[in-house]
Amino acid sequence: PSAPSNLQVTGTTSSTISLSWGASTDNVGVTGYNVYRGSTLVTTVTGTSYDDNGLSASTSYTYTVKAKDAAGNLSAASNSVTGTTQSGGGGGGGNKLLGYFVEWGVYQRNYHVKNIETSGSASKLGYINYAFGNVTNGQCAIGDAYADYDKFYDAASSVDGVSDTWDAGALRGNFNQLRKLKAKHPGLKIIWSFGGWTWSGGFGQAAANPAAFANSCYSLVEDPRWADVFDGIDIDWEYPNACGLSCDTSGAAAFKNLMSALRSRFGSSYLVTAAITADGTSGGKIDAADYGGASQYVNWYNVMTYDYFGAWAAQGPTAPHSPLNSYTGIPIAGFYSDAAIQKLKSKGVPSSKLLLGIGFYGRGWTGVTQSAPGGTATGPAPGTYEQGIEDYKVLKNSCPSTGTVAGTAYAKCGSNWWSYDTPSTIAGKMSYSKNQGLGGAFFWELTGDTSNGELITAMKNGLG
């Protein structure tokens, strides 16, 4: 293979040096890159970037990279670069803060774009993922036309106090409200997220022709009626080459190919991101697709480090749905946030491209007699919109936290048992994000927070 080109240091923290380089070419095919710290082989990755972790603060390290091909041949070394870690202190992670806005929130939940402003959340957010666009017939498609661009907002319910109009061609709905929100907060970026749990079944067909899919998405996101609203596209495929609501068999390379096509079509200045599985088990969902290889095409991954456990296992055992670490009695080994983060790092995904996920809701069981985790249950606890799930804003009053396990909170009230994150546990998770050199954190989703944004404030304070 040819030698990797243009090796450079792209970022540092007190314990991490981030590297990137130009791809090599080969007549057989490049299968990976060996990363050397001095003369020591640190790792082999499939992508063209790597975060070297666990380094000492205020220390210089020198790196080279060699390509290898399917026949086992190694290239000559790349140019040599030296990076110096930052002085010790905060761990030095990024402070990206992203929240999901759900289009259906304007109905039963009565949560509108204006609520992002009045809660104080808009001034804290760097990014909003608008959920969801549909994926059907191998293409990106509108999710809910009425909520997206047709619903009428009068002056009182509008972000800027100005009523929508019925003029021909006038934009209404969430898109127009988001446009107004961006005018108030010029740094805020809006990303249109496609797929999600319900609409991921269309990705298999999309993956069969990635270029056609990418073209359809570009045409939709950059539609002249709302092109100025969006700064990026997010893919929430649950799950490539694995099972979610339905099972996908498109192969381990499909996700990488899809993200490559999107990056090619949208260009380097556009945000291209993906929400991905947090299954840290051996041979689990992270292992099913090439998240390491695809990471070169994304600005970051939203790692869905929640929904590990819940009342779909109706008899329990009760367990926190968003454990940060393992703990004695965890029902499934590898089902916790740190396992997912470390596995993704081991695949060559740079730490700075990983955002830690926080749920603004709890998951719960009923028929529980034991207050500590690990108790038996008879089914899901009652919830406002769906059994077994409830917003933080409700739970903080109806079932206040009585303990913590694995970095998250739990509570038993009567025979109901809930787990959820609180401002206190979020502070711990943000500290983890900083210490791991992650890019920041994100949450699902805005309607679960209190009217004054308790949880998002805890995230903002923790990330700095």
The closest of 205, 195, 207 to 141, measured between CA atoms, is 195
Distance CA 129, CA 372 (A): 35
CB 213 within 8 A of CB 174: no
pLDDT at 92: 55
Query: Alpha helix locations (H) across 385-422?
Result: 392-398
Distance CA 189, CA 83 (A): 31
The residues that are catalytic are 238
pLDDT values of the chain reduced to their tens digit, one per residue, 464 residues: 999 999 998 877 767 788 888 999 988 889 999 999 999 888 888 888 888 877 777 789 999 999 999 888 999 999 999 998 876 544 457 899 999 999 999 999 999 999 999 999 999 999 999 999 999 999 999 999 999 999 999 999 999 999 999 999 999 999 999 999 999 999 999 999 999 999 999 999 999 999 999 999 999 999 999 999 999 999 999 999 999 999 999 999 999 999 999 999 999 999 999 999 999 999 999 999 999 999 999 999 999 999 999 999 999 999 999 999 999 999 999 999 999 999 999 999 999 999 999 999 999 999 999 999 999 999 999 999 999 999 999 999 999 999 999 999 999 999 999 999 999 999 999 999 988 889 999 999 999 999 999 999 999 999 98
Domain ranges of the chain: 5-84, 96-359+423-463
428: left (phi over 0), alpha (psi -120 to 50) or beta: alpha
pLDDT at 49: 86
Indicate the pTM of the whole model. Answer: 0.82
The closest of 291, 428, 306 to 350, measured between CA atoms, is 291
Q: 96-359+423-463, superfamily in CATH? A: Glycosidases (3.20.20.80)
Q: Which residue has the tokens 């130009």?
A: 22
Q: How crowded is residue 383: how many other Cβ atoms within 10 Å of its Cβ? A: 19
pLDDT at 44: 87
The sheet carrying 17-22 orders its strands as 5-12, 17-22, 49-52
Count of H helices and E strands in the chain?
13, 22
Distance CA 212, CA 159 (A): 36
pLDDT at 285: 98
Q: 5-84, superfamily in CATH? A: Immunoglobulins (2.60.40.10)
Tell me which amino acid residue 149 is.
Y
Let me know if the fold of 5-84 is the same as that of 96-359+423-463: no
The closest of 306, 412, 279 to 361, measured between CA atoms, is 306
Helix (H) or strand (E) holding 420: strand 416-420
The closest of 351, 333, 357, 444 to 408, measured between CA atoms, is 357
Torsion of CA 449, 452, 456, 461, to 10 degrees: -150
Distance CA 362, CA 338 (A): 20
* Burial status of residue 314 (CB atoms within 10 A of its CB: 0-12, 13-18, 19 or more): middle
pLDDT at 90: 43
